[in-house]
Structure 1
């Protein structure tokens, strides 16, 4: 990294947080420790930074402030680097090694000061942010202890790094509280189990590049305001370069790996008598230039939120298509447990009739705009628009199996949510099947008197397939288009449906049609076409006559 890069960026107190938008999104900013405000940061392109791994991989000159500062109190603090196990070092300060050896909890060695680094890991599931509660795990330990430590953050891949070159691999530093269950550490004769319980690795509040900090760092730990630990990196038994060289002897260190370098003298079992953490105790660890990591021990009845966190992360394993069109989900509504795009417009009169519009496969609610404007419907009616899953602004998950019935269930859920049982439904294309199936589902769940639904009408602006399964030729065509979308993207779909050489009377109309299709999500189109080609249920059912309620057809929409 060049000196000019280092001097370019002074916003180096990198903090990970959830913003206050809905839904909240992970962001990276600069935390002003004096004013407790966060300055959001972005790539030079303006795209927001969302995790510290991105920051580590960028030259400082490629990071830019983005917008005004926001109060820390309006955000949710996140740990800087939560995704990997922490590489940790035990017994790395002489006085602590001695107090540990004489405490009765050391089963790791027969001598006080180790001849080689004592290396263990802390599970990534133990990592929490500053301000989060440390669970006491009363059924697991009665010897809950703190360990204030300096965390080294690796900045580039390293294998068999020479000790004299090791500092070139250090990106920066953060603070770690190596919370420990002492009897578990003793009884299992190794450190992993006693140090990896959920919430046992508070980290943060910030991460700072090495170039912005002095070479020697001081760590201090206070418990309930009382100073317990105070030392510097100059007192380490095994220096940071030595640790990096040792750890990389046979394994590759990755950018974003964190090494907890060990704790000084003064932990709970070093007090006389032994003084372990209790619910309500507050631990504050301060390090030169890194602020203060503050966490309080929770009540024994406190809920363990780790399961919820893991469940959320598990849901994020599946690719979600079409989400970026809504800037990560902003403006979406949860309908039938899915984030979908819905909007309401038109008359504000309490007596106005509602109209619900349902578009066809590959379309979106925007296709109704010319129709609504030409008919001036907004003056007389309350208008409801929904983008079906994977269409328009509505995302779709790779784990979601879309079908006519799934679309219908989403529409039925919207009808129930908004009280639209008595509305007019206008649909076209495959949306006609969705509309009919949705009202079937609504009526199956709830019994209505004739007076309750006297205003209900369904207007189909296209003739839906009269039987299912679809005719073979139609099914084959839909399946072929689905594969075209998956393999060639929307440009291939557009060229298939609207070849550039096709003669049209209106060049503007052709261009607008191509632009509209190019704006669609390829995965959403694939799912829609695939489901259309895969309708197999209810053989030989006449979907309109079997529905048993009045339907108005108006041909020629497409």
Structure 2
């Protein structure tokens, strides 16, 4: 153990200020600071000569509250970090458990005390900066600075009450499709407007729900602030006699780059707007006609404000229509809005021939849930097979004879790892393993109806992806045996050997089919825990349950690791499977069937019938006192049978 880890352990059960030297090295861009560690649990591990510490309860003397939303370009996932305004670096942030934060709504809900730095800071230029809040319309206030109200009233574009000082706040919204992040280009809409104008504003972020909030209590509902550029198509604002159309064009609501809790900022905030480097707007929140508490009171009188709602408080004087003559934004212009403690929101007007980026963004929105997706954090681990992502991996020498593995219901490609290692299959063969759709690491779409036929096409996709045209062996288990047989029937010539571990009846008996459909519904409503006891008990032999508890645990872990919806869909695939003619398998394909003497899914009598149907092209191996999970229950017996057959 190192001196550093000894010092850490000395901190346990007491409050102690301690800064491990290795931690300062890893956090060099934000050091020096001290960690006040209370009731700390630390684990030390060695990884690439660096040390990692996991802290259960930590209070940092340095604040990581310049919250920025960004896309991790490696994984394609959204993350939340702390943005160092001076260094232009991002420190990734996580929940205190280490689970990654992926949106600001989570930050608001759990609070600063439950958020910790995670990983090393990196240059902001290597990430795609996202707006801090998306998915909701932005609440806005017009004519809320006295001088701006005057310039707007005299511009000829004011379609509201045309007074210099409104008697009530002018409220409107900006559609959520108008929101873009710092650094993104603003689409100029050349066929929609010739009067694009900027409005630098301070955005109030609501922190807790509120209905009929009083002015006195309003600030307790404020979580923090961000920057908003309330871009406007002036002639549309005028002609439609209201603000929504002119305020909501796609990309007309730049927001960010960060959002910061109110407790970390000055009480009086200054907003400035520069266009192409020229100062155009300069005011503070003291200049507001209607204060932030009054706006919250007004907004909540008839509607409930939600955490994460953004309220743009209005823009000061100095907009384009206030100049004599008016000056509107043109392609290439750069607008930079700065607010005290919030950095600068910078966006450029795009070229006239540029595409509208929101169109593609909206086209990519889907409300169909992709189940079983969270396990594959890095999507590069998935392979596109038949236009859908499946987990696939190759082991061994691709020039040697190929073996494709197909697992069964409730299994995954990992089911075969003990078998592969026990007889070192990857030395003599080219191994192709994948997880069936909805199983293991492979997601599934609600539009995809799983069936033995769909699984078969995925196997063919594996063959095509791996460029396997003939001479392959397939090792399959349980339901996977039906997939393997169907593949051999529908793609004759590609398979030379079949190894079927516990093939089920084809088709299932009506009672078994109904029970399997019922199991699917049970899993959908109550989860895998509702069926694991029954399935594990029925699938293992009495001897296994009595003397091989590790095998039983492996079965349970395999089942409990399944996505309930993916498992339910596969249950329906098995229950609805059509009968297969084993005897029609091409004569050049030889088959080994392995089952257990206590296999209730694939009893020896059933397997003998399969062997007879194969007319001398098959052999049967019955494992003594073994159930249905053959590899887990009798690895030696399965390994011996497979090894002899493949020679």
Q: What TM-score, normalized by structure 1, do the two folds share?
A: 0.90
Q: Deviations over 1:325-351 (max 9, x none)?
A: 22364622222222211111113xx63
* 1:218, distance to aligned residue in structure 2 (A): 0.8
In the TM superposition, residue 8 of structure 1 has moved relative to its aligned partner by 5.5
- Structure 1 position 144, deviation (Å): 0.8
* Structure 2: runs of 5 or more not aligned: 1-57, 596-627, 629-647
Cα 1:475/1:284, change in 2 over 3 Å: same
2:571 maps to 1:532: no
1:127 Cα deviation (Å)? 0.4
> Structure 1 residue 409: deviation in Å?
2.0
Q: Deviations over 1:233-253 (max 9, x none)?
A: 111111111111111111111
Q: Does 1:434 align with 2:483?
A: yes
Write the deviation string for residues 449-507 of structure 1: whole angstroms up to 9, x where unpaired.
xxxx6x74241414756755x43133123223323323343233221123399842533
> What is the 5 A alignment of 1:329-408?
329=379, 331-347=381-397, 351-408=399-456
Indicate how the Cα distance of structure 1 residues 428 and 85 shifts in structure 2: closer, same or farther if over 3 A, else same.
same
The answer as to whether partners of 1:463 and 1:553 remain within 8 angstroms in 2 is no
- Secondary structure of the residue aligned to 1:325 is coil
1:21 lines up with 2:77 in the alignment: no
Matched-pair contact (CA < 8 Å) for 1:416–1:442: no
Q: 2:280 aligns with which of 212, 220, 228?
A: 228
Shifted more, 249-258 versus 506-515: the winner is 506-515
Are 1:322 and 2:360 an aligned pair? no
Question: 1:466–1:542: 8 Å Cα contact kept in structure 2?
Answer: no
Q: What do the CA deviations read for 1:277-315 (whole angstroms, capped 9, x no partner)?
A: 11111111011100000011111221222233223332x
Aligned to 1:447: none
Deviations 1:526-545 (A, max 9, x none): 11111211235xxxx64334
Comparing 321-330 with 224-233, greater Cα deviation is found at 321-330
> Per the alignment, do residues 209 and 542 of structure 1 end up closer, same or farther by CA in structure 2, a change over 3 Å counting?
closer
With over 3 angstroms needed to count, the CA separation of the structure-2 counterparts of 1:406 and 1:9, relative to structure 1, is: farther
1:516 to 558, 563, 568: 558
In structure 2, how many angstroms separate the alpha carbons of the residues matched to 1:191 and 1:403?
53
Aligned residues, how many? 534
RMSD over aligned CA atoms reads: 2.3
* 1:78 positional shift: 0.7
Equivalent residue for 2:180, pick from 128, 142, 160:
128
Cα distance, 1:388 vs. partner?
0.4
Name the CA shift for 1:161/1:382 in 2 (closer, same or farther; >3 Å): same
- Aligned residue among 474, 496, 499 for 1:425: 474
1:311 and 2:363 aligned: yes
With over 3 angstroms needed to count, the CA separation of the structure-2 counterparts of 1:148 and 1:440, relative to structure 1, is farther
User: Unaligned 5+ residue runs, structure 1?
Assistant: 444-452
SS at match of 2:474: strand
Contact 1:358 1:426 in 2 (8 A): yes
Q: CA deviation at 1:94?
A: 1.0
What pairs with 1:461-476 in structure 2 (closer than 5 Å)?
461-462=500-501, 464=503, 468=507, 470-476=508-514
Structure 1 CA distance, aligned partners of 2:82 and 2:287? 30
Quick one: distance in 1 between partners of 2:464 and 2:536?
A: 39
Q: 2:427 & 2:162 partners in 1: Cα distance?
A: 86
Measure the CA separation in 1 of the matches of 2:488 and 2:247.
56
Q: 1:438 to 1:229 in 2, by over 3 A?
A: farther
Q: CA deviation at 1:82?
A: 0.7
Contact 2:520 2:567 in 1 (8 A): yes
- 1:120 & 1:391 partners in 2: Cα distance? 47
Q: Which moved more, 1:125-134 or 1:470-479?
A: 470-479
Deviations 1:393-451 (A, max 9, x none): 212233432111221222222221221222333223222332344466667xxxxxxxx
Q: CA deviation at 1:546?
A: 4.1
Distance 1:47 1:331 in 2: 20
Q: How does 1:32-431 map to 2 (within 5 A)?
A: 32-314=84-366, 317-327=367-377, 329=379, 331-347=381-397, 351-422=399-470, 423-431=472-480
Secondary structure of 1:149's partner?
A: strand
**CA deviation after TM superposition for structure 1 residue 273, in Å:** 2.0
Shift of 1:353: 1.7
Deviation of the 1:525 alpha carbon: 1.6
Cα distance 1:438–1:225, how it changes in 2: closer, same or farther (>3 A)? farther
The answer on whether the counterparts of 2:392 and 2:434 sit within 8 Å (CA) in structure 1 is yes
Where relative contact order (Cα < 8 A, 6+ residues apart) is larger, the structure is 1
Preserved contact between residue 140 and residue 311 of structure 2 (Cα < 8 Å):
yes
- Asked if 1 retains the 8 angstrom alpha-carbon contact of 2:495 and 2:589, the reply is no
SS in 1 for 2:394: strand
If the length of structure 2 is used for normalisation, what is the TM-score? 0.78
Distance between the aligned counterparts of 2:501 and 2:340, measured in 1? 70
Q: How far 1:59 moved relative to its partner?
A: 2.7
CA–CA distance in 2 between the matches of 1:176 and 1:89? 12
Q: What are the Cα deviations for residues 196-251 of structure 1, in whole angstroms up to 9, with x where unaligned?
A: 01101000000011111111111111111111111111111111111111111111
Residue 272 of structure 1, CA deviation:
2.3
The separation in 2 between residues aligned to 1:506 and 1:52, in whole angstroms, is: 51
Determine the C-alpha separation between the residues in 1 that align with 2:542 and 2:155: 88
**Contact 1:462/1:553, CA 8 A, preserved across alignment:** no
